[in-house]
Amino acid sequence: MGIIRPSKVSFADEKIKRAWENLDKEDELYNQLENAKKNIEKNAFCGRAVIKKLIPKIYKKYDNLWIYDLPSGWRLLYTITTPTKIEIISVVLNWMNHKDYEKLFKFT
């Protein structure tokens, strides 16, 4: 088993935070994202790390990029920061459907 490190989950900016908060609480996507958030809080490393050379230009400013696979091809993108030696923060950058994910990573 890999590294297990609990983390605090935050958002990259207010726009992402508001978009999350404005999701329909009855929608399946909201439930999937909330479940992903809980899993990332339990273990910041539960997603898949993106190889540095494959990180899309828009996210190059972050030292790392992680992908959390959601049902129906959706993806949650986040980065992991360590502002102190004992604190880990997972920062939600975006979530997207599979078509947008493929476009972002230039798979199509």
Instruction: Write out pLDDT tens, residues 35-87.
Output: 999 999 999 999 999 999 999 999 999 999 999 999 999 999 999 999 888 89
- Judged by DSSP in three states, 87 sits in coil
- 36 within 8 A of 70, measured Cβ to Cβ: yes
Confidence of residue 107 (pLDDT cuts 50, 70, 90): confident
In which element (H, E) is residue 28 found? helix 28-42
- In the chain, what are the domains? 8-104 (3.30.2310.20)
Confidence of residue 1 (pLDDT cuts 50, 70, 90): low
Strand 66-69 vs strand 48-49: parallel, antiparallel, or unpaired?
A: antiparallel
What is the Cβ-side half-sphere exposure of residue 83, based on CA atoms within 13 angstroms? 6
Strand partners, 96: 75
